[in-house]
């Protein structure tokens, strides 16, 4: 069974004061599963209050555009996909991802104010379509097994909670133990803590040869993997939909010893129990939760 790359040798626990605060202006956000965006289709989605359309260009690459016509404000959902953009079903204008707009008469407008359909940075990672509000480099997610190795179908769950609840739950050893069905110890090591990536590594109770690795690529895209007896892992995307305390939780899993197939349901359960007005108590200055709070600037 192929699993995410084995963890590199790490230094002792990184003190809270040494963990940098994230300064990225935006996140990569899971907007859909890749299989949901088929050629020729316009797929509506809502990400952090933005109404978007996902579609594939002539080369098969996913594009993400604002859902409404920039000229008249009507939705483009019923339009058609052409090699260079979206053609409106209402007035026949073609809105291209290169910044041009073409009238039905053939007149082309290039990057004129009010005549540009905004497109967003988008990439695909291991079956997830990720959207970002600004130009960003795709996240450096470690190699994962192909979908043929997944032990559960990709799932999408609606959860009422705040956007950071997933990452905070995975950084808390008690919650992580419940979610994975294996015991992890309290204080993690921190092999990586940069502006865009945080890596927490937990030991497994009574199994010194095993580790559990939680990686955050921004605050809304995470992976959990294990080595040794519980080899396996999961990719987790959190999508704020714009409504108050409303999330979509997307997960896929693979592996053996731990109950990876049941992980998604238990994670949704504990995340739903967290509310903005129910702050978690940070029991130790160098706990995983404390490190996360520092990293996201909430310490």
Side-chain half-sphere CA neighbours of 234 within 13 A: 30
**Sequential DSSP letters for 204-246:** ETTEEEEEEEEEEESSSEEEEEE-GGG-EEEEEEEEE-SSTT-
Q: For residues 288 and 202, is the Cβ–Cβ distance under 8 A?
A: yes
Closest among 78, 89, 47 to 64, alpha carbons compared = 47
Residue 154: the pLDDT is 72
Residue 148 CB partners (closer than 8 Å, separation 6+):
none
Q: Residue 265: which H helix or E strand, with range?
A: helix 260-272
Helix or strand (DSSP H, E) at 289: helix 288-295
CA distances to 6, 177, 222, 258 from 263, rounded to whole Å, are 21, 10, 14, 9
Q: 3-class SS at 5?
A: coil
Tell me whether strands 108-110 and 119-125 are parallel, antiparallel or unpaired: unpaired
In this prediction the pTM is 0.76
Model pLDDT, residue 280: 52
Any idea which residue has 């041009």 for tokens? 100
Helix (H) or strand (E) holding 165: helix 165-171
- Identify the pLDDT of residue 206: 76
User: What is the per-residue pLDDT for 282?
Assistant: 46
Give yes or no for a contact between 254 and 230, defined as CB atoms under 8 angstroms apart: no
| Domains, the chain, with CATH or none | 29-123 (2.102.10.10), 148-295 (3.90.380.10)
In 10 A of CB 207, how many CB atoms? 16
Give the integer Cα–Cα distance in Å for 283 and 185.
14
Which residue shows structure tokens 């996201």? 296
> Residue 79 is encoded by which pair of tokens?
């339009």
Question: Which pLDDT does position 84 carry in this prediction?
Answer: 85
- What's the CA gap between 100 and 116, in Å, rounded? 6
pLDDT value of position 40: 93
Per-residue pLDDT of the chain (299 residues; tens, 9 = 90+): 333 333 333 333 444 445 655 545 457 788 888 889 999 999 999 887 789 999 999 899 999 999 999 998 999 999 999 988 899 999 999 999 888 899 999 999 988 888 899 988 888 877 888 888 555 565 566 555 555 555 556 778 888 887 788 888 898 888 888 888 888 877 888 888 887 788 999 988 877 778 889 988 888 888 888 877 667 788 888 888 766 677 888 887 776 656 676 888 888 888 888 754 455 544 444 478 788 888 887 54
What's the pLDDT at 201?
92
């Amino acid at each position: 069974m192929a699993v995410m790359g084995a963890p590199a040798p790490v230094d002792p626990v990184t003190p809270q004061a040494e963990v940098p605060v994230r300064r990225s202006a935006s996140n990569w956000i899971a907007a859909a599963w890749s299989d949901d965006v088929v050629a020729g289709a316009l797929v509506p989605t809502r990400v952090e209050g933005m109404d978007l359309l996902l579609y594939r260009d002539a080369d098969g690459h996913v594009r993400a555009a604002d859902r409404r016509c920039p000229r008249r404000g009507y939705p483009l959902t019923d339009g058609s996909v052409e090699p260079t953009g979206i053609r409106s079903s209402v007035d026949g204008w073609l809105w291209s991802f290169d910044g041009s707009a073409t009238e039905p008469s053939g007149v082309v407008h290039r990057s004129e104010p009010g005549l540009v359909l905004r497109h967003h940075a988008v990439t695909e990672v291991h079956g997830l379509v990720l959207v970002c509000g600004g130009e960003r480099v795709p996240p450096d997610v470690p190699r994962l097994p192909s979908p043929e190795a997944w032990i559960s179908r990709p799932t999408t769950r609606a959860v009422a909670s705040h956007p950071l609840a997933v990452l905070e739950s995975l950084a808390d050893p008690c919650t992580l133990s419940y979610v994975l069905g294996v015991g992890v110890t309290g204080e993690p090591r921190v092999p990586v803590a940069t502006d865009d990536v945080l890596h927490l590594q937990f030991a497994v109770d009574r199994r010194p040869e095993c580790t559990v690795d939680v990686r955050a690529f921004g605050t809304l895209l995470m992976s959990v993997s294990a080595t040794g007896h519980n080899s396996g892992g999961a990719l987790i995307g959190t999508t704020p939909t714009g409504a108050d305390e409303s999330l979509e939780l997307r997960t896929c899993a693979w592996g053996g010893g731990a109950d990876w197939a049941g992980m998604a349901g238990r994670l949704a359960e504990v995340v739903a129990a967290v509310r903005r007005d129910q702050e978690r108590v940070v029991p130790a200055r160098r706990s995983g939760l404390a490190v996360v709070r520092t990293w996201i600037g909430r310490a």
